[in-house]
Each structure stands twice: as C-alpha cells, then as structure tokens.
Amino acid sequence: MIKIGIPVFPGSNCDRDVEKVLTTLFKVKTEFLWYNKEKISSDYDAIIIPGGFSFGDRLRSGIIAAHSPIMDEVKRLAKDGIPILGICNGFQILVESELLPGALIKNDSLKFMCKWSKLIVKNNKTPFTNNFKLNQTFSIPIANGEGRYVADKETISNLQKKNQIVFQYQENDNPGGSFESIAGICNEKGNVVGMMPHPERVFEKLLPKMGLPQDALKIFGSLTNYLGKSMILKTKIRRGY
C-alpha cells in the first residue's frame, strides 16, 4: 500500500485536510511527521507538506520550518527522487529550504485572498501532473497572504528553459501578482513541486452542485497514478481524478 508522509509543524493547519483527501478518496496510508523528528524511515512513497502558518509565520513565512529537523530528512528523500509536494505554506517551506528556487512574498494587494482561480498546466510530466493534458485549465481555491512568486531574471529564465513552471494563473487573473503568473514550480528533476493553491480543498463532493468542478483532485490522482500500485486506485482514476 502506498504510504505518504505529511510533515506537521507547530502552526500547520491543512495537515488534517490533506490526510482526509488522501485516505478517503485515494485510500492510501498516511502518517503525520512531527517537525522535530530527526530520522524517518525510507519507505515513504511521497511527502506532502501541508499549508498553514508554521511557527506563526514569524520572521518570514516558512523559514523557521525550513530549519527544523524533519526538513533534513525531506531533503534526503528529495535527493533520492521521492515525489515531494508543498502546498501553500508547504511551497513557502520548500523555497526557504532551497529545494525550489525563488521566493514568495506578500501579495501585491497586501491582503490575504481567499477565492477560486483558474490554473493552466504548463508541465504535465511531474508526478503530480501526469493526469492532466498540457495547457489544460482547471479551477482551484487559493487562500494566502504571501503567494506572490518572485525571482531574479536568471532564475525565471532558467525555470522557463528547463520546463520548471508547472502551473500558471490565467492571464487576467494573477491574484498575488506573481512573476510570469507563476502558481507552481518544480525542481530540475521534477520530483519536488510547490504550489500556492489548495488542491485538497476540492474534496467536498457537493462542490459540483455549487458549480465548482473537482478537477484539481487530479494532482493527487497523478501521484497515485505515478506510484500506481493499488487496485482501488485504478478505479479512482477511472472515476476521473
């Protein structure tokens, strides 16, 4: 059975949401990994760093978490090619850990923003996007105050050259004011992905009734597809996640 580790820091607050999606919709095993764990076993198939306000966003969002013991282990797994996804604060932590380039700063509105946006898939080769078509668009909720992706020119051009931009916001809707409308990126190898929007929040099955589609679940569907082991998963994939 697939086993996914969910690092939890003091102040993480999407940990239980990620767990709920993975265990109820994708029937995989999950384990919470408390931030001060110095050693984790190597049998995790993937790591998902959830959103929240780790250490109360003190000093700078993600930075204290990036220096906690568990992140040394996450770095080790990343090196081994294990798929790693950082969502929202998780993305900020990956950036502060230098597993991903660039920085996330305050939205240009200077406000926290909670709304639904549309993303475009720019790289469908990662473990978290292989169920999407290239340039496919899908709706997803965002909820952040510091989601504006910035980087120097060289980094941006490298990201473009090496196909490391995974998700972009649609042209007229770049909620935080990210450079190149970036919503998510990956490392050169493609196994580490960070994104500001919250795919786990399309869990509610009544969303379609409210006119909000659940395509964003394909991010988790892609992962289980990539790891592709369990039979139950295959039925899930057929259902369209």
Partner 1 sequence: MALLTRSELKYLKQNLNRNPNVLEKEIVAAEWSEHCSYKSSKKYIKLFPTKGPRVLVGPGYDAGVLDIGNGYIITIHIESHNHPSAVEPYGGAATGVGGVIRDIISMGTRPIALLNALRFGPIDKNMYQEKSKWLLKNVVRGISDYGNCIGIPTVGGEVEFDKSFNNYCIVDVAAIGHGKKSNLISNRADLGDLIILAGGLTGRDGIHGASFASKKLESENRSAVQIPDPFLEKLLIEATLEAVNKKVIKAIKDLGGGGLSCCLSETSDNLNKGFEVDLDNVHKKYVNMNPTEIMISESQERMLYITEKSMFPKLKNILEKFGIMYSIIGQVKNHRNLVIKNKGVIIAKMPSKLISHAPLLDRKFKIPKYIKKLKRKNEPKKPNDLNKILLKMLSNINIASKKWIFQQYDQEIGLRTVIRPGYSDSAVLRLDNDKFVSLKLDGNSKLCYSDPYQGTLNLLSESCRNVIASGASPVGIVDHLQFGNPNNEDVFWTFRESIRAIVDFSNFNKLPIVGGKVSFYNETEYGQIKPTPVIGMIGLIENEKNIMTQHLEKDQSIFIIGITEENMGGSEYYAEVYDLENGDVPSVNLKHDRIVSKTVMNLIKRGLVNSIHDCSKGGLAITLCEMAMPKKIGLQIYLNKIPNSCNRTDFILFSETSSRFVISTKNPDKLKNYLNKIKGIRFGEIGTSNDSGIIRFYDINDNNKKIINLKMDTIEREYDKINEIMEN
Stretch that binds partner 1, among 70-78, 182-190, 194-202, 215-223 (CB under 8 A): 194-202
73 binds partner 1 (CB under 8 A): no
The sign one gets for the Cα dihedral 40, 221, 217, 27 is negative
Distance CA(49)–CA(99), nearest Å, equals 13
Record the tokens describing residue 212, joined without a space. Answer: 């909000």
186 is catalytic: no
Interface with partner 1 (CB under 8 A), residue from 91, 149, 203, 220: 203
200 is catalytic: yes
User: Coil, strand or helix: which one is 206?
Assistant: coil
Record the tokens describing residue 98, joined without a space. Answer: 């230098």
- Which CB sits closer to partner 1, 17 or 72? 17
Record the tokens describing residue 97, joined without a space. Answer: 């850990």
Record the tokens describing residue 94, joined without a space. Answer: 């990956």
- Which CB sits closer to partner 1, 14 or 85? 14
14 is catalytic: no
Q: Which of residues 140-179 bind partner 1 (CB under 8 A)?
A: 141, 143, 145
Q: Min. distance of Cβ 210 from partner 1 in angstroms? A: 6
Residue 188 · residue 168 · CB < 8 Å: no
Residue 165 · residue 194 · CB < 8 Å: no
Q: Which of residues 97-126 bind partner 1 (CB under 8 A)?
A: 111-115
Q: Which of residues 12-41 bind partner 1 (CB under 8 A)?
A: 13-14, 16-17, 20-21, 34
Residue 2 · residue 45 · CB < 8 Å: yes
Straight-line distance from the first to the last Cα atom of the chain, in angstroms, rounded to the nearest whole number: 19
For partner 1, the binding residues (CB under 8 A) are 10-11, 13-14, 16-17, 20-21, 34, 52-53, 55-58, 111-115, 141, 143, 145, 198, 200-201, 203-204, 206, 209-211
Q: Which residues does the annotation mark as catalytic?
A: 88, 198, 200
